[in-house]
């Protein structure tokens, strides 16, 4: 995603090179160390079209018995942070009715956040998802009432309004915590990337390529982010999926059969040929 953000003009190259890892080493230093820092520039806006092939990272294709996925939309992502601050105190000497327990309040928030995501998925957009995936408790000691909790939320959907609805309910839930508990809260929606729509001509080219090879292709959305989401902002684009065994990804058991790779590559080649007018 970083390279495509530079290629599409969403991020300056110098800003990207200045990114630091957990040890404080910049991307520029890492690239220089392996003699892999290029000097050429790429402008994706000059491309007539773009097609990307990736593994699905889910079970939609397996469940449908389809060989290739043709993506018509890529999820947006809203990333939010919340801080819940109470007061750290002795676990034995602090009476229950005098505690400002940040973890108790944060636990209630997680349940409310899940309920909000479930409600939006059931009543507005079935593809909406919301996750509290990171939880940091301070001072995080057995014999101390938790004084502060910081958490991170990931909200995704191809419907931006549904993403908004979950984020707004999360913010409102924090206000409710302050009314119900002796805590203070803060909410930061620090990343907001809207969903991306694929170009109709690219999607049609992919389905035509699949049909020409008698390959079963399924129209679907992508619930994970890909470089194509950035590229689609400046030129026509499409994303293709090959099946993932058992839907596993970011896992040592991630696997796509070689035959499925070949089938998906055949559709990719046919898509590119059609877009090139060959």
CA geometry: angle 235, 240, 242, nearest 5 deg: 160
Tell me, what's the pLDDT at 189? 98
The mean per-residue pLDDT over the stretch 190-205 comes to: 96
Mind listing the pLDDT tens digit for each residue in 45-72? 999 999 999 999 999 999 999 999 999 9
Mind listing the pLDDT tens digit for each residue in 118-177? 999 999 999 999 999 999 999 999 999 999 999 999 999 999 999 999 999 999 999 999
What's the token pair of residue 242?
Answer: 């090959």
Q: Are 53 and 141 in contact (CB under 8 A)?
A: no
Contact partners, residue 132, CB within 8 Å, separation at least 6: 110, 113, 114, 151, 152, 153
DSSP-derived letter for residue 199 is P
Alpha helices in 232-257 (DSSP H): none
Whether 252 has a pLDDT exceeding 90, the answer reads yes
Tell me, what's the pLDDT at 219? 98
pLDDT bucket at 1, cuts 50 / 70 / 90? confident
Tell me, what's the pLDDT at 39? 87
169: number of Cβ within 10 Å: 17
What span, in angstroms and rounded, lies between the C-alpha atoms of 139 and 270? 57
Picking from 243, 234, 238, the residue whose alpha carbon sits closest to that of residue 262 is 243
pLDDT bucket at 254, cuts 50 / 70 / 90? very high
Domains of the chain with CATH codes = 1-42 (no CATH), 48-75+195-275 (3.40.630.10), 77-193 (3.30.70.360)
* String of DSSP letters for 62-101: HHHT-SEEEEEEE-EEEEEEEEEE---EETTTS-GGG---
């Amino acid at each position: 995603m970083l390279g495509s953000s530079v290629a599409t003009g969403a991020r300056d190259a110098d800003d990207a090179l200045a990114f630091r890892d957990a040890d404080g080493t910049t991307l520029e230093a890492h690239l220089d160390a392996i003699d892999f820092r290029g000097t050429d520039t790429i402008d994706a806006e000059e491309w007539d079209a773009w097609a990307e092939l990736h593994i699905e990272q889910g079970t939609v294709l397996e469940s449908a018995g389809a060989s290739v996925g043709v993506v018509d939309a890529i999820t947006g992502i809203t990333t939010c942070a919340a801080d819940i601050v109470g007061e750290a105190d002795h676990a034995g000497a602090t009476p229950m009715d005098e505690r400002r327990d940040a973890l108790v309040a944060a636990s209630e928030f997680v349940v409310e956040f899940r309920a909000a995501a479930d409600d939006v998925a059931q009543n507005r957009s079935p593809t909406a998802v919301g996750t509290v995936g990171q939880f940091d408790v301070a001072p995080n000691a057995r014999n101390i009432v938790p004084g502060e909790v910081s958490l991170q939320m990931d909200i995704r959907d191809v419907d931006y309004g549904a993403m908004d609805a979950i984020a707004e309910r999360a913010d409102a839930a924090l206000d409710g915590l302050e009314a119900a508990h002796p805590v203070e809260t803060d909410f930061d929606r620090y990343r907001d990337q809207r969903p991306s729509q694929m170009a109709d001509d690219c999607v049609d080219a992919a389905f035509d390529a699949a049909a020409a090879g008698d390959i079963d292709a399924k129209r679907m959305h992508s619930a994970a982010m890909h470089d194509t989401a950035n590229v689609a902002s400046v030129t026509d684009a499409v994303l293709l999926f090959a099946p993932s065994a058992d839907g596993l990804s970011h896992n040592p058991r991630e696997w796509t059969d070689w035959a499925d790779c070949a089938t998906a590559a055949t559709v990719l080649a046919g898509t590119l040929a059609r877009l090139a007018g060959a």
